[in-house]
Chains A and B, each alone.
Chain A
Amino acid sequence: MLARSCLRSTRGVSAVRNGAVNTTKRAASSTSNAASPFALNVAGTVSTAMAIGSAAWYYHLYGPELHAMTPVEEGLHPTKYPWEHAKWNKTFDHQALRRGFQVYQEVCASCHSLSRVPYRALVGVTHTVDEAKAMAEANEYDSEPNDEGEIEKRPGKLSDYLPRPYKNDEAARAGNNGALPPDLSLMAKARHGGIDYIFNLLTGYPDEVPAGAVVPEGLNFNPYFPGTGIAMARVLYNELVEYEDGTPASTSQMAKDVTEFLNWSAEPEMDQRKKMGVKVITITLALFALSVWVKRYKWAAVKTRKLNYTPPSMGGKHTNGH
């Protein structure tokens, strides 16, 4: 486009020149043939070449996107999966949440904490009250100081938070070769790619490292982790967990369930939020319809009136006092 418009303008210029030359020619009636078709062709070709060349040069300079990091350093972008619960009118699959919690507890919880989720949050979501109470009671928590000022242990209550696998971050690092297993409570919101990233990361460990790739000692190759060297080894294998509802526990099934569970832990209000959204839209639509009706009602008199103007006849034989 640029080249074409450039060409057109050159043509225009040469046409002007042509005209000018022609007039001088006519005036002086000389025999100069400066405006031969050959010269015009050359001018057109050269200007086209210039236009294309400059565009190409510009693209060469500024066209390619610059990346601060190599693709390896950036990591493979997570593939988008058609999550059912992510649709605007769908809720979490609470059976999947229950299975996901089971996977978290049996697999992830040995390294990763879920410190923002209390047992009471599970009630009505994944477990019944009694189940949640029983799970809470299986853990010990510090109680109030007794008469001697000693802090005794007490069984957990619904209001207690899920226990963390390590006392503190330092202990967690010491137990994991210097790498800190992050808290998973908000992980679905904390990583670029969200739940797709988690699912891809969990299932993305290749059977063999691509040729030539260097994996530092103590790290594992995972294409989705920025830098591809991740301290967490592959943990999910087929039939690692036995689901209580009998779902076949393939690697991707466990990954899907635990990812949906982590989505819930990061966004427990999702079901309510979507429901509220539908309520808001419904009520707002009703109110809007009402307001349209009221407006039409109020304006009916104005809109349907008819103005009749009978001009007074000017001059003539009007003698009735005007």
Chain B
Amino acid sequence: MGFFSDLMEAVTPWAEVEAEAPAKEEEEEGVKDSRDEESEDKEEEEVEEEEEEEEMVDPKEKFEAECRESKGCSSYKHHFDECVERVTGKSDDGPKEDCVEEFFHLAHCANACAAPKVFAALK
């Protein structure tokens, strides 16, 4: 429905409203849908064939891994790596420490960097 006809309906509350769409139209829609799906299927089959050769890679993981290694997140990555090294190399009787906060900073940086790329890659 066009915007203006819709607008007209909005300012003319006496316009008719149908609870159910006529059956004929529905059939047509159904046909259309199946046609759409067919054509889409064809397109995506090609895509799938390409992907079936190798394991599917989640775009989010891919871009985030790239972002973690990127220059923008290098300081967070450095801190996180340093922390992991310190914590894993430590004896058990020392003070308890974890790398969750360092992980947070790195994850936040990588996610923010990857977010637009991920959504561009997804449907």
A: residues with CB less than 8 A from B are 71-72, 76-77, 79-84, 96, 128-129, 200, 203-204, 206, 210-214, 223, 228, 238-239, 244-248, 250-253, 256, 275, 279, 282-283
A302 to B105 CA separation, bound complex (whole angstroms): 67
Across the interface, do B51 and A252 meet the contact criterion of CB distance under 8 Å? Answer: no
Q: Assuming A248-B56, A253-B122, is B87 touching A223 (CB within 8 A)?
A: no
20 A/B residue pairs, CB under 8 Å, sorted by A: A72-B100, A81-B115, A128-B29, A200-B111, A210-B98, A210-B99, A210-B102, A228-B100, A239-B56, A245-B40, A246-B40, A246-B48, A247-B44, A248-B51, A248-B56, A250-B57, A250-B59, A252-B118, A256-B119, A279-B6
Residue-by-residue, is B88-104 near A (CB-CB < 8 Å gives 1, otherwise 0)? Answer: 10000000111111111
Q: Is the CB of B103 within 8 A of A210?
A: yes
B72: interface (CB < 8 Å): no
> Hey, which chain B residues are within 8 Å of A96, CB to CB?
123
Q: Is the CB of A238 within 8 A of B122?
A: no
Given A223-B103, A223-B104, A251-B58, check contact A214 B98 (CB 8 Å). yes
Q: A82 contacts B98, CB within 8 Å?
A: no
CB contact list, B51-65 vs A, under 8 A = 51, 55-61
From A77, A211, A244, A253, contact of B123 by CB (8 A) = A253
**Smallest Cβ distance from A85 to chain B, in angstroms?**
12
Residues of A close to B40: CB separation below 8 A = 245-246
Among B20, B30, B87, B112, which residue has its beta carbon within 8 angstroms of that of A212? B87
Within 8 A of A (CB), among B21-40: 26, 29-30, 37, 40
Give B residues with C-beta under 8 Å from A. 6-7, 10-11, 20, 26, 29-30, 37, 40-41, 43-45, 47-48, 51, 55-61, 80, 83-84, 87-88, 96-104, 107-108, 111-112, 115-116, 118-119, 122-123
B11 cross-chain contacts in A, Cβ below 8 A: 283
> Once bound together, how far apart are the Cα atoms of A247 and B11, in whole Å?
41
Q: Among A77, A128, A213, A239, which residue has its beta carbon within 8 angstroms of that of B100?
A: A213
Q: How far is the CA of A218 from the CA of B37 in the complex (A)?
A: 43
- Bound complex: CA A213 to CA B96 (Å): 10
Alpha-carbon distance A245/B41, docked complex (angstroms):
6
B96: shortest Cβ distance to chain A, in Å? 7
Closest chain-B Cβ to A237's Cβ sits at a distance in Å of 9
Query: Given A251-B58, A282-B7, A79–B112 Cβ distance below 8 Å?
Result: yes
- Cβ B10 vs Cβ A246 within 8 A: no
Q: Is the CB of B44 within 8 A of A128?
A: no
In the bound complex, what is the Cα–Cα distance between A211 and B87 (angstroms)? 7
Which residue in A72, A128, A253 is a CB contact (below 8 Å) of B101?
A72
* A77 and B108 in contact, given A128-B29, A239-B56 (Cβ under 8 angstroms): yes
List chain A residues, Cβ under 8 A from B47. Answer: 246, 248
Beta-carbon nearest neighbor of A280 in chain B:
B10
Residue of A nearest to B56 (CB): A238
A251 vs B57: C-alpha distance in the bound complex, in angstroms? 9
Q: Decide yes or no: A76 and B7 within 8 Å by CB, A206-B103, A250-B58, A252-B60 being known contacts.
A: no
CB nearest to A283 among chain B residues: B11
Given the complex, which residues of A lie within 8 Å of B116, measured CB to CB? 82
Contacting pair A79 B98 (CB below 8 A): no
In the bound complex, how far is the Cα of B47 from the Cα of A245, in angstroms?
Answer: 13
